[in-house]
Amino acid sequence: MIYAAIALGVILLSLAAYRGVCALARWGERRYG
């Protein structure tokens, strides 16, 4: 059960990081385009 919670946390964290990087890339493209 603990391992499942850790795995879920890692997945959510990686997904959030991926979305953050995409948003940052779009913002930079719009600003410096």
Could you list the pLDDT tens digit for every one of the 33 residues in the chain? 899 999 999 999 999 999 999 999 999 999 887
Tokens 């997945």, located at residue: 11
Q: Cα angle vertex 26, ends 24, 18, to 5°?
A: 50
Query: What CA–CA distance (Å, rounded) separates 6 from 26?
Result: 30
Distance (Å, whole) CA 12 – CA 6: 10
pLDDT at position 1, please? 86
Which pTM value belongs to this model?
0.65
CA distance 19 to 27: 12
Tell me what pLDDT residue 33 has. Answer: 74
